[in-house]
Structure 1
Amino acid sequence: MWTLNGRKAVITGGTKGIGRATVIEFLELGAEVLFTARNAEDVKKFQEELRDLKLPATGIVSDCSLKQSQETLSLWIKENWGTVDVLVNNAGINIRKRAQNYSEEEYRKVLEVNLVSPFELSRRLYSFLKNSGKAAIINVASSAATQDVGTGTPYAMSKAGLLQQTRSLAVEWAMDGIRVNAVSPWFTETPLTRGYLEQKEKIDPIVNRTPLKRVAQAKEISSIIAFLAMAKSSYITGQNIVADGGMSINAI
Structure 2
Amino acid sequence: MNVLPSFQLKDKVAVVTGAGRGIGQAIAVGFADAGADVVLMARTMSDLEDTAKIIQEKGQKAYVYPTDLTDHDQIHTSVESILVETGKVDILVNNAGMNIRSSAFEVTDQEWQTIMDTNLRSAFWMSQKVGKSMKEAGGGRIINIASVAGTTALRTGVVYASTKAALIQMTKNLALEWGEYGINVNSIGPWYFKTPLTEKLLKDEEYLSAILDRTPLKRVGVLPELVGPAVFLASDAASYVTGQTLFVDGGMTIYGF
Report the 3-state secondary structure (helix = DSSP H, G, I; strand = E; otherwise coil) of the residue aligned with 1:100: coil
Rounded to whole Å, the distance in 1 between the matches of 2:50 and 2:253 is 37
Q: Percent identity?
A: 38
- Residue 50 of structure 1 and its aligned partner are, at CA, apart by 3.2
What's the C-alpha RMSD, in Å, of the aligned pairs? 1.6
Equivalent positions of 1:32-47 (< 5 A) are 32-47=37-52
TM-score (structure 1 length as normaliser):
0.95
Q: Which residue is equivalent to 2:204?
A: 199
Q: Which residue is equivalent to 2:3?
A: none
Contact 1:18–1:219 (CA under 8 A) maintained in structure 2? no
Q: Which residue is equivalent to 2:233?
A: 228
Q: Which residue is equivalent to 2:105?
A: 100
- Residue 55 of structure 1 and its aligned partner are, at CA, apart by 4.0
Gap change, CA 1:251 and 1:202, over 3 Å in 2? closer
- Residue 247 of structure 1 and its aligned partner are, at CA, apart by 1.4
Equivalent positions of 1:55-94 (< 5 A) are 55-94=60-99
Render the CA deviation track for 1:15-65: whole Å, top value 9, x for unaligned. 111111101110011011101111112122332343344444112111211
Q: Which residue is equivalent to 1:126?
A: 131
Rounded to whole Å, the distance in 2 between the matches of 1:19 and 1:121 is 15
- Residue 163 of structure 1 and its aligned partner are, at CA, apart by 0.5
Rounded to whole Å, the distance in 1 between the matches of 2:56 and 2:15 is 18
Render the CA deviation track for 1:100-153: whole Å, top value 9, x for unaligned. 111100111101111111111111112211133230100000000011121100
Q: Which residue is equivalent to 1:209?
A: 214
TM-score (structure 2 length as normaliser):
0.93
Contact 1:82–1:128 (CA under 8 A) maintained in structure 2? no
Q: What 5-or-longer segments of structure 2 have no aligned partner? A: 1-5
- Residue 251 of structure 1 and its aligned partner are, at CA, apart by 7.6
Equivalent position to 2:190, from 163, 185, 192: 185
Equivalent position to 1:244, from 209, 232, 249: 249
Report the 3-state secondary structure (helix = DSSP H, G, I; strand = E; otherwise coil) of the residue aligned with 2:53: helix
Contact 1:84–1:131 (CA under 8 A) maintained in structure 2? no
2:163 paired with 1:135: no
Q: Which residue is equivalent to 1:12?
A: 17
Render the CA deviation track for 1:140-185: whole Å, top value 9, x for unaligned. 0000001112110000000000000000000000111101001101
Rounded to whole Å, the distance in 1 between the matches of 2:55 and 2:237 is 26
Contact 1:129–1:135 (CA under 8 A) maintained in structure 2? yes
